[in-house]
Structure 1
Amino acid sequence: MTPHDGSLPQGAEHKHAALSDPPPRPAPEQPSRHAPGPRATAPVETAPTDTAPGPDRARLARRARRVLGFVAVLAAGGIALAVLNSGTRHGLLDPRSADPYGSRAVAELLEDRGVTTRVVTTAREAAEAAGPRTTLLVTDPDRLGSRQRGLIRSAMDLSGGRTVLLAPGSHSLTDLAPGVSSQSATAADTLAPACSLPAAASAGRADTGDDRRYTTDLPRATACYPSDGRPTLLVLPAGTRGDTVLLGSGTILLNESLAQEGNASLALQLLGSRPELVWYMPSLADSDPGSDAETEEDQSLFDLVPAGWSWALLQLFAAAALAALWRARRLGPLVTEKLPVVIRASEATEGRARLYRKAGARDRASTVLRAATRERLAALVGVPASQAHDPVTLVPAVSTRLGDGGHDVTTTLFGPTPSDDAALVALADHLDALEREVRTS
């Protein structure tokens, strides 16, 4: 008869408990030493509430090691980049730099022609080194303060050599080239010489109009490479046998553009007319903060940032993005959750059986019964656990251990789902009998 409490038919619950996945063993009951006598065992025991601090400390230690490892990798990468770039990258228009925006190529070509290059970073050094046998190149005239411009102006008047100013603006032209005004260039294409200057005529088209173009009413000034009617290269006579060259762009000196058009020819002729070249690169240590506080109108805060910082910031942003993706996708290890109570195995089995009975899940119940029986039989007959659910391997091995008991091993272990509760009880009995016979054989 079917019980009135909604459980499986009598026998099915106990067969299911015997043949299903083994439930956890109940915690052993410990008698209290302070109790005066034996106490009744409660059906539900409260689990201990105190937690051991060991796993938490281990998890924190693992997390700290990961963070330290990530920081170490970033530091090692930064040190490696600094070491690799320390000998080859010195900044924009630096004759020691071999990167695309350096000028090492033109310095080596000048050396092959017998011109020695000396790099200086202060106006005083540049003024002392200037002479009739030198070409003084100022890479950033607009960075100079009034005191530095005065020193360079005196050297231009007294040295008798050549002075080349790269893209000077109105900030520096007042002292270094009076009578010349500057405007921003509008075209970046190569320009034709359109003048009688021998160096320009032999060089041909060149990239001189990327930054500045000039206007002047000075007599005997040679104007070349016009852009929209205004020259981007001016040659002004200055002092005894000396001259001043205003070049609207330093593109012709860069490593990446030296081989284009007539850039190399024009650069070598402008800088190689004397046996010595003084390459003056104004530095922050040479600045004069008390003399001039004004800057060009078209300069922004980013123009004052030293070269290379933008690339370093980009790398930091990329590293931060990768770290965020790494941490966001991290699932972490499985966490064992402690149950608030410990339930007896028999109660857990009966509760599961009632759930199967209420849901009419005979398919699930029979699958669990058969799977558990197949695993135990495989261990008894010597079949590997990986092949316990393979009928081709398991059925012959079990059949050899049975007599003529009339068992249909294939149907019992791999048959269809029982059609009703009675068939489910019968299946449980057949599985139990089959296992007992194999154990006793």
Structure 2
Amino acid sequence: MTGTAPATGATPADAPPTSAADPAGTPAAGTSTAPGAAALWRRHRGAAAVLGILLVSALALAALDRGTRYGHLDPRSAAPTGSRAVAELLRERGVTTRVVTTAREAADAAGPRTTLLVTRPDLLGETQLRSLRTAADLSGGRTVLLGPGARSLPTLAPGVHAEGSAAADDPAPACTLPAAVSAGRASTGSGLRYSTTRPGAVSCYPSGGRPTLLVLPAGTTGTSGGDTVVLGSETALLNESLAEEGNASLALQLLGSRPDLVWYLPSLTDADAPSATEDKALFDLVPAGWSWALLQLFLAAALAALWRSRRLGPLVTEHLPVAIRASETTEGRARLYRKAGARDRAAAVLRGAARGRLAALTGVPASRADDPAALVPSVAARLPDTRDVTSLLFGPAPSDDAALVALADHLDALEREVRTS
């Protein structure tokens, strides 16, 4: 009699016990299941490579940034758009350069033995502009305004008006100012042009009939202060262009007439900054050093994208489930043209297709199918009458739908006659 074996959880008596050395059993208590060094390297070598590339990029950018941590037109910057070169030349001539970043510092430093250079006058607020004008009037020194516009000219140089941009060239002095005559041609283009009605003002380096350099002698600004120089372009002061033409000579003579040079670079930390109601661009509020940080973040994102990207496979041709007849496509396009009222476009398509077929029938090259001088004589030679082929193939667009239908009929008739001739 066959019975059913009892279902119990006990191990049969004849089954061998599981030992520590049995591969199918539980590992021994002293055996480690952690991955080894080789396995960890294979698992994380991609991330390590990305981190290494980022570290090398950061070190390279830091090395490139050693001489360019200062900003645009900064006399301490060795970057192409810095001005360390002109500051070093002035130092060799005995001129001391002092960099200030607030209008209060600039006004306090102005004096009869001082040249005050204001690099970006249009960034200043009314309080700053009035402070600088008062200091310049009382000091008796020289004031050099670099690229002033309509915002700052009424306060810093009354009677001077900006007249638009100058051409990007190196004009001749065309004046009797000793500094300009000695320098010769200089890079004063790519800046602003000016006009003035002040008596005694010297106008130099004209571009389009307007000067790009003005020198207003003492007393021409409404007070008895020192002279004021209005220079429409900053190019002559930049490291990358100082050696061109007479830029170095002009810069040294304009900035080195006094033993002390105060180089005013407006900054966001200026206590006399414009009020919050004045409009500022978004990038004007971002410190200059953040540009390098953004570049590093961009490189990191690009490397991460390359690391995680997958190559796309070849293009796969997909067969449409339904075959669409050419006549249906033509009718659908015709309905779209009609709905849009595009008779001109429809006529152009009809004429273009007819010209292509007629060119093939008459032996005209396909590249000259749209040339009336080549196609019309060949088509007319195959017609028994003298009809206006030019108007039919190259004429104006139809004025209504009936004219468009008539045009299609005439084109078909013309093609049939040429084909049977």
- Give the alignment's TM-score, normalised by structure 2: 0.60
Q: For 1:282-361, list aligned pairs within 5 A.
A: 282-286=266-270, 288=272, 291=275, 293-294=277-278, 301-302=282-283, 305-307=286-288, 309-310=290-291, 312-328=293-309
* CA contact 2:95–2:261 (8 Å) conserved in 1: yes
* Distance change >3 Å, CA 133–CA 195, structure 1 → 2: same
Query: 1: CA distance between counterparts of 2:41 and 2:134?
Result: 67
* CA contact 1:140–1:166 (8 Å) conserved in 2: yes
Q: What SS does the corresponding residue of 1:187 show, helix, strand or coil?
A: coil
> Which residue does 2:123 correspond to in 1?
143
Q: Which amino acid aligns with 1:34?
A: A
Q: Which amino acid aligns with 1:270?
A: L
The structure 2 residue matched to 1:247, chosen from 202, 221, 231, is: 231
The structure 1 residue matched to 2:250, chosen from 245, 266, 276, is: 266
> Which residue does 1:391 correspond to in 2?
none
Query: 1: CA distance between counterparts of 2:263 and 2:270?
Result: 15
* CA contact 1:208–1:248 (8 Å) conserved in 2: yes
Query: 2: CA distance between counterparts of 1:59 and 1:180?
Result: 75
Q: What SS does the corresponding residue of 1:284 show, helix, strand or coil?
A: coil
> Which residue does 2:168 correspond to in 1?
188
Q: What SS does the corresponding residue of 2:243 show, helix, strand or coil?
A: coil
- CA deviations over 1:73-112 (Å, ceiling 9, x no partner): 5256435633652454311111111111111111111111
Q: Which amino acid aligns with 1:231?
A: P
> Which residue does 2:136 correspond to in 1?
156
Q: What SS does the corresponding residue of 1:106 show, helix, strand or coil?
A: helix
Instruction: Say whether residues 1:102 and 2:82 are aligned partners.
Output: yes
Q: Which amino acid aligns with 1:116?
A: T
* Distance change >3 Å, CA 36–CA 92, structure 1 → 2: closer
* Distance change >3 Å, CA 53–CA 168, structure 1 → 2: farther
Query: 1: CA distance between counterparts of 2:179 and 2:102?
Result: 29
> Which residue does 2:10 correspond to in 1?
34
* Distance change >3 Å, CA 89–CA 35, structure 1 → 2: closer
* Distance change >3 Å, CA 307–CA 230, structure 1 → 2: farther
The structure 1 residue matched to 2:214, chosen from 218, 224, 234, is: 234
Deviation at 1:131, TM superposition (A): 0.7
Deviation at 1:144, TM superposition (A): 1.4
Instruction: Say whether residues 1:178 and 2:158 are aligned partners.
Output: yes
* CA contact 1:121–1:281 (8 Å) conserved in 2: yes
- CA deviations over 1:31-50 (Å, ceiling 9, x no partner): x97256889xxxxxxxx9xx
The structure 2 residue matched to 1:202, chosen from 182, 198, 202, is: 182
Deviation at 1:218, TM superposition (A): 1.6
* Distance change >3 Å, CA 36–CA 325, structure 1 → 2: closer
* CA contact 1:120–1:280 (8 Å) conserved in 2: yes
Deviation at 1:161, TM superposition (A): 0.5
Q: What SS does the corresponding residue of 1:165 show, helix, strand or coil?
A: strand
Instruction: Say whether residues 1:280 and 2:256 are aligned partners.
Output: no
* CA contact 1:121–1:283 (8 Å) conserved in 2: yes
Unmatched runs of 5 consecutive residues or more in structure 1: 1-31, 40-47, 331-441
* Distance change >3 Å, CA 183–CA 319, structure 1 → 2: farther
> Which residue does 1:24 correspond to in 2?
none
What percentage of aligned pairs have identical amino acids?
A: 67
* CA contact 1:137–1:280 (8 Å) conserved in 2: yes
Deviation at 1:308, TM superposition (A): 5.7
* Distance change >3 Å, CA 266–CA 59, structure 1 → 2: same
Deviation at 1:256, TM superposition (A): 0.4
Q: Which amino acid aligns with 1:286?
A: D
Instruction: Say whether residues 1:221 and 2:197 are aligned partners.
Output: no
* Distance change >3 Å, CA 316–CA 112, structure 1 → 2: same
Q: For 1:4-43, list aligned pairs within 5 A.
A: 34=10
Q: Which amino acid aligns with 1:225?
A: Y
> Which residue does 1:413 correspond to in 2?
none
* Distance change >3 Å, CA 135–CA 208, structure 1 → 2: same
- CA deviations over 1:122-157 (Å, ceiling 9, x no partner): 111111111111101111111212221121111110
Query: Could you say what the CA RMSD is over the residues aligned between the two structures, in angstroms?
Result: 3.6
Q: What SS does the corresponding residue of 1:214 show, helix, strand or coil?
A: strand
Structure with larger RCO (C-alpha < 8 A, sep 6+): 1
* Distance change >3 Å, CA 36–CA 321, structure 1 → 2: closer
* CA contact 1:142–1:169 (8 Å) conserved in 2: yes
Q: What SS does the corresponding residue of 2:152 show, helix, strand or coil?
A: helix
The structure 2 residue matched to 1:113, chosen from 87, 93, 98, is: 93
Larger radius of gyration: 1
* CA contact 1:89–1:96 (8 Å) conserved in 2: no
Instruction: Say whether residues 1:212 and 2:188 are aligned partners.
Output: no
Q: Which amino acid aligns with 1:268?
A: L
> Which residue does 2:392 correspond to in 1?
none
Equivalences, count: 289
- Give the alignment's TM-score, normalised by structure 1: 0.57
Q: What SS does the corresponding residue of 2:132 show, helix, strand or coil?
A: helix
- CA deviations over 1:165-220 (Å, ceiling 9, x no partner): 11011111121112222243141111121111111111111111212111221221
* CA contact 1:192–1:204 (8 Å) conserved in 2: yes
Q: Which amino acid aligns with 1:169?
A: G
* Distance change >3 Å, CA 87–CA 132, structure 1 → 2: same
Query: 1: CA distance between counterparts of 2:271 and 2:122?
Result: 11
